[in-house]
Structure formats: C-alpha cells, structure tokens
Structure 1
Amino acid sequence: MSRLAGKVAIVTGGARGMGASHVRLFVKEGAKVMIADILEQEGQALATELGENAKFLKLDVTKEDNWKEVIAETEKAFGPVSVLVNNAGITMNKPIEETTEAEYRRIIDINQVSVFLGMKSVIPSMKKAEGGSIVNISSINGLVGGAIGYTDSKFAVRGMTKAGALGLAHYGIRVNSVHPGVIETPMLLQGDAKDAIKEFAKFIPNKRVAKPEEVSNLVLYLASDESSYSTGSEFVVDGGITAQ
C-alpha cells in the first residue's frame, strides 16, 4: 500500500535538489504534489516527467499573496492540502563584518519568514482536510553554530516548528523539523566547493556526504500517518556530525 495515498502535498523549492527528491518520492508513494518554486523551467520539466499527479506553480516564498494563490490553485487541482514541506532556502557563508544588511535580510526572508508564511497560509486548507503534517527543513546549523544569517534562520525554523506544533495540535496538524547535514545537492556543490566537501567528508563519522534521497525517506515518514504521534520535534539526518 502506498504510504501517502490520498495525501495532497506542496513542496517548496521542489524543482531541483532535495526538493525534487522529496517530490519524486511523494508521487511514487501515492501523493498528489504541487511543485512550488521560482525555477519555472526546471519545475515544469519535473511536473511533466512525473505525470498527472504532479503540477508546477511559480512561488515566491517571501510573498504572502503568492502563498495564498498557490494554496488555492492546489485545492482546485487536487483538493485540500494535507502535507506542506517548507524546503525552499538559500545558503550564505560570509564573515559577519562583511555581511550587508540587505544580504542578511534576504536570507532571513527566504529561510525564515517564508516558513512562517507557509505555516500560516496552509492552516485553512489543512482544517478542511481535517488535519495535516508540516515538515520544516532546517539544518544541522539549526542545532549548532555556523555562518551568520544562515545559522540564525535555521535556528528560527527550529523554534517556529515548536511554536507551530503547540499552536496547531488542536487542529490535528503536526509540525516537525528536519535537520540535514552535508547533502549532495547543486546548492552544496556550487563553485569550487566540491573539493572542500570531499575533504570535510573525512571528518563525518559515516565518512561520506548524504544523497538527497536519504533525507527524503525521513521527510516521507513525517508526511505519512506513520509519524502520527510525532510533533514539535527535531529529526536529524547528518551521518553523526552533531553526535561528536
């Protein structure tokens, strides 16, 4: 039996990388999925590849009106939303003294404010569905320190998850956060980072970086009814980095 049969999901940042991995697995497991991203060409291509149970809509996750439009269109196409994966995010790795206010506000808007907007906007639809699961993709930098801006936003996602879980439990809506470590995605391997990542992998207890699918398997569990008693919790997939 498909683990997400009857579920309607929205995955932000779903056009490529970890997001695309989540989308593919969700469709495979029986969900109807709205791929929400600013990358129109890649998002449309993925929807075409996956067939009638996947559609694409352009979403700027920092715009509340855009969120409302995407949720309304998802309901029109598939029915009330029962799963939201707040996956969209960007990285930034600059010293604090070199970070401009505009750069800081941009990463906070995309990584943090978008999660608030997504959780808030999807509540009416999940109430129609008589419950749901929100999965917020944070990072191990939501548990331990890292670059300014990125770390701040990912700690905030962790906190919003707990606040959201407490505030939405009476609607039957669960909220959990996922904290990936080093994952092999286009965002990670941009520029000259590939050699540095290979070197860093030597210090990971599992001695390798993760494939996106390894995160998707955890996201699938949280989206499914198998995790029906899990809410307000952090789920770490990092090869043992934060255990050291």
Structure 2
Amino acid sequence: MTTVKFTATLVIQVTALTVEGPVEGDAMAGLDLSGRRALLTGGAQGLGQGMAAALAAAGAQVVIGDVQIEAGEAAADALGEGHGFVALDVTDEGSWENAVVATTQMLGGLDVLVNNAGIEITSLVVDVDPADVQRQLAVNVLGTTLGVKHGLRTMRPDGIAGTGGTIINVASVAATIAFPGIAVYSATKSAVDRLTRVAAMESGKLGYGVRVNCIYPGLVPTAMGAGLANDVAELGLFASPEEAVAGVVELTPAGRLGEVEDMADAVVFLASDAARFITGAGLPVDGGMGM
C-alpha cells in the first residue's frame, strides 16, 4: 500500500483588535458557577455526592435526585441552605417529569443536569444473567436517555426553564478499554458516549442552546469501585481484590486510582463558562488508563 501525504497551506488574515476592560466569559472566572441551578442524579453517595458538593462549592444551587430518599435528603442537607432533594427513579418517565418540574420550581430554573446514576453488575460473559443485563440497561442507558430528553426539553427555548444550559453524562473508562468481568457495564457506558454525541448534535442543529458532554471516570475506591475489585477476584480473574486494584494502577500512567475530587472537578469544569465552546465531547478522567 502506498501512503500519499498532502500538504496544504492555509493563510488567515488577522485584524488586530483592541479590547478594553474584562472580556465576558474570561477563563479566570470560568469555574464560578454562581447563579447556576443544577439537578444531579445518583447524588446520595459515592461519586454523585462528591459531584454535588463540588458544584455547590463552586456556587451552584444543587438538587440531588435519587431513589435513596433518606440518604439523598441527608446528602442534600449536608450541602447547606439553598440546596434540595427530589425523589427520582431515573428509569421512570413520570418520575423524570416530576423531578424537572420540582427542581425548576425549587431553584427558579435549571441550567445544569448531571446524569450520574448508574449501576454495575460484574459477570463473565459466559455467565451473564438476562435480568442483570436488563437492570444495567434500564439504569445506565434508559435512565441517562430519559435524563437527556427531559433536560433538553426543560432548558431549550420553549421549556419551563428556557435559558439553555449544559448536560453532563457520566460514562466510564470501561467504555474505552477491555477490562474483564464488566462486558455489559462497558456496553452500557459505550452507549452513554454515543448518546451524548448525538444529543449534542441535535441540540446544536435545533438551536436548543444546551451543551451535552460526558466524562469517563477511571476506577475510584467508592463502594462501587471496591465492589468491582472484590467481584473480579471472586470470579478468578485476579488472585485477590488487592491484586485487582494493583492491576488497574499498573494500567494507569498516572500511577494511582482516581479520587472523587478528580471526577467532581471535571464536572464543575464542563458546567462552567470555561467549557463554553465544548459540546459533544467525552472527557477522560482516568489518569491515562483509556488512552
């Protein structure tokens, strides 16, 4: 096969501009979320709880949506005054309709939606249980899809919020690597990636004014992360949970597991004006594991 290289020269005429005073959307202030109203799913624990705290710390008002009512209310209370909780089953259309209306009324609008809720059930492909497949599809794919649907409907110009905004979906490094024991989970998170990009294109084409992006978190030692390490060891894929963790670290150029703050900071960035020209993107927050 012959490789042909093409070289093109692009000439751009630049006109000098003089700008006096601060530029709107200056990156120095881009991570200030003051005045933003956010709904975050799966915020009762783990990554979601950390993301909610980071959004609040950046100045946003946050409503946590979760099926775990007691834990969700406690997580919302921990954020302080001006934040709230709404019961939300992400797999249920009516629950989403109620949640976006309640959030918009509670906060006076909606600018940020984080689709974080998700589940992982470990299994070898040869032992997959159809019921477990359906559960992961329901929460990870249907739940995120309904979130994007109602986020766009709420934030677009004719929606009940109507001022545009941003949607951030939580995929996983599992969408970009072949890690044993999580085939179905990996498939669902790959679906989240594709959903994100198509939704971003539709939002742009139809003038919704809503940016749609996703992040790919690496392994974080939350309850879900610890559970995965135990599960793959029980399946005989690693000699012990410790060896499973060591295997992940070995695959990660950064040389460590992820931390909740790593993922939370990425969400704050994508929700901010610093990311104002970013849409349809997947941001790896995995220490290089998925490169």
Aligned to 2:242: 195
Confirm or deny that 1:16 pairs with 2:38: no
Distance in 2, matches of 1:134 and 1:114, equals 14
Which stretches of structure 1, 4 residues or more, deviate above 3 A after TM superposition?
A: none
Is 2:43–2:72's contact at 8 Å kept on the other side of the alignment?
yes
Letter of the 2:169 partner, please give it.
N
**Secondary structure at 1:43 match in 2:** helix
**Secondary structure at 2:71 match in 1:** helix
> Structure 1: where are the runs of 5+ without partners?
none
Is 2:229–2:244's contact at 8 Å kept on the other side of the alignment?
no
Which residue of 165, 183, 186 maps to 1:151? 186
Is 1:134–1:173's contact at 8 Å kept on the other side of the alignment?
yes
Distance in 2, matches of 1:110 and 1:138, equals 12
Which residue of 23, 40, 44 maps to 2:69? 40
Distance in 1, matches of 2:147 and 2:52, equals 17
Aligned to 2:154: 125
Give the 3 Å change call, closer, same or farther, for CA 242–192 of structure 1 in structure 2. closer
**Secondary structure at 1:187 match in 2:** helix
Give the 3 Å change call, closer, same or farther, for CA 41–197 of structure 1 in structure 2. farther
Is 2:252–2:287's contact at 8 Å kept on the other side of the alignment?
yes
Distance in 2, matches of 1:173 and 1:141, equals 26
**Secondary structure at 2:81 match in 1:** coil
Distance in 2, matches of 1:74 and 1:191, equals 33
Give the 3 Å change call, closer, same or farther, for CA 37–196 of structure 1 in structure 2. farther
Letter of the 1:163 partner, please give it.
V
Aligned to 1:211: 259
Distance in 2, matches of 1:210 and 1:15, equals 19
> Structure 2: where are the runs of 5+ without partners?
1-28, 231-240
In our comparison, the structure showing a higher alpha carbon Rg is: 2
Aligned length: 243
Is 2:171–2:193's contact at 8 Å kept on the other side of the alignment?
yes
Is 2:171–2:215's contact at 8 Å kept on the other side of the alignment?
yes
Confirm or deny that 1:92 pairs with 2:121: yes
TM (norm. structure 1) is 0.94
Is 2:122–2:228's contact at 8 Å kept on the other side of the alignment?
no
Distance in 2, matches of 1:190 and 1:8, equals 33
Distance in 2, matches of 1:40 and 1:91, equals 21
Confirm or deny that 1:83 pairs with 2:109: no
**Secondary structure at 2:121 match in 1:** coil
Give the 3 Å change call, closer, same or farther, for CA 113–90 of structure 1 in structure 2. same
Q: CA deviation at 1:145?
A: 2.8
Distance in 2, matches of 1:74 and 1:58, equals 11
Distance in 1, matches of 2:275 and 2:135, equals 33
Aligned to 2:214: 177
TM (norm. structure 2) is 0.80
Distance in 2, matches of 1:7 and 1:37, equals 20
Once superposed, what is the RMSD of the aligned Cα atoms?
A: 1.5
